[in-house]
Amino acid sequence: MGKMAMSIRTTAWKIAVLMLSIGTAAPSACAERVGDLPNDTSATTSNATIAATSPNTASEPKIASPVTIFKTETVPIESGMRTHETKPPRDLGSGVTVQDCAVRFAEELNLPSTEAGLIADLNVTTGQPIGAGDAIARLDDRALKIRSRAAQLRLSSAQEQIGDDVELRYAQTARAEAMAELNASRAIHNEASGAVPLSNLRRLQLAVERAELEITRAQKAAKQAQIEVDLRAADVAILDDTMRRYALSSPISGVVLQVFKQRGEWVASGETVVRLARLDRLQVQALMSSDQCSPNECLNQPVSVSWTDPISGQKLYLRGRVTSVQPQRLAGGRYRIQAEIVNDRTADGKSWLLHPGTEIEMVVYPPKGLISGIVADR
């Protein structure tokens, strides 16, 4: 009975030792499996293991994980996104309100006719909004189309001529025939002296040379035909370019300010047909005080303009940048600045939000630490 009890205790002791060895080996295997996971999981497991094994972990403060700081950048004003806002641009900081703001067109141009002719179509009227590439007018091009058709036919005929190599092949065949007859006569003459008169041999030799000249002439004619094709193609290209210049299109996106010619009128080359103005960019002229911002620091600084929409009653904001500072100083230490504003279209896309002559308020945002005097209400 005692031996049986001793055997049971021995077996239990061995089982306990075996379980202990399995328990110590399991963490290493688990660690190997965890090591295959992403770094953040293994880091978490390692931190948990350290916290469980270190006696001082509970008394030590927790260390926050590193925080990635992302730099905020302002979207460039040249982007194709909608640029207007309904709240002040607070990301620019504090600004200085300028005085005597006047909104004008940033660009005006007279669109001339590049060819002389009769105006057949006129597609715009005064005050009409236009986009870049929109058709404005077209000159009478009926005679030009006839000339273009004739040039196309001449080009097709020249291309057919260059593809015709009958003369070259005929000359090559004649040369081969003359050469064969000459070689045969020479063989007979060499076998039996005097069997073929020398005059016949000279005649056959001249026939070979004449055939070679025919080949040269055919090759030269082929080169001349290629030159003719190039010339006809150039004529077609010139007429096509003239045809394009008979059509007038807008180089900018904006509005028609004035129409100088009407349908049926004659226009000379270089004569103005319409006057256009750009609306996707506007120019604002204003007065800035030297006490508020130094002229040297004002150039290229961001600006914002605000006004109340007369239809919705909502206050709108657009952004821009100071493009020039006049060197002349005015009374009271003031100087004139010029800013370019990026305009935006209305929701329906048919018009623009800001127009020249609108009463606005403009705020200039100088570099931090350079603002003195009156600060804009933010």
The DSSP symbol for 79 reads S
pLDDT band at 10 (very low <50, low <70, confident <90, very high): low
pLDDT band at 309 (very low <50, low <70, confident <90, very high): confident
Whether pLDDT at 46 is above 60: no
Whether pLDDT at 63 is above 70: no
pLDDT band at 12 (very low <50, low <70, confident <90, very high): low
The DSSP symbol for 332 reads G
pLDDT per position as a tens digit, 165-219: 788 888 888 888 888 888 888 888 787 777 778 888 888 888 888 888 888 888 8
> What string of DSSP letters covers 39-72?
HHHHHHHHHHHHHHH-TTTTTSPPPPPP-PPPPP
**What's the CA gap between 127 and 87, in Å, rounded?**
31
**What's the CA gap between 304 and 324, in Å, rounded?**
16
pLDDT band at 123 (very low <50, low <70, confident <90, very high): very high
**198-245 vs 142-162: helix axis angle to the nearest 10?**
150
pLDDT per position as a tens digit, 138-163: 999 999 999 999 999 999 988 888 77
The mean predicted confidence, pLDDT, of the chain is 77
- Judge contact between 245 and 117, C-beta under 8 A: no
pLDDT band at 9 (very low <50, low <70, confident <90, very high): low
Per the structure block, which two tokens stand in for 152?
């196309």
Task: Work out the number of other CB atoms within 10 angstroms of the CB of residue 238.
Answer: 13
**What's the CA gap between 315 and 88, in Å, rounded?**
9
pLDDT band at 347 (very low <50, low <70, confident <90, very high): confident
Q: Which one of 6-10, 29-33, 155-159, 373-377 scores highest in mean pLDDT?
A: 155-159
Global pTM reads 0.55
* Residue ranges in the chain assigned as alpha helix (H): 2-35, 39-53, 142-162, 166-191, 198-245, 295-298
**Alpha carbons within 13 A on the beta-carbon side of 159:** 8
Q: For the chain, give the percent of residues with pLDDT over 90.
A: 36
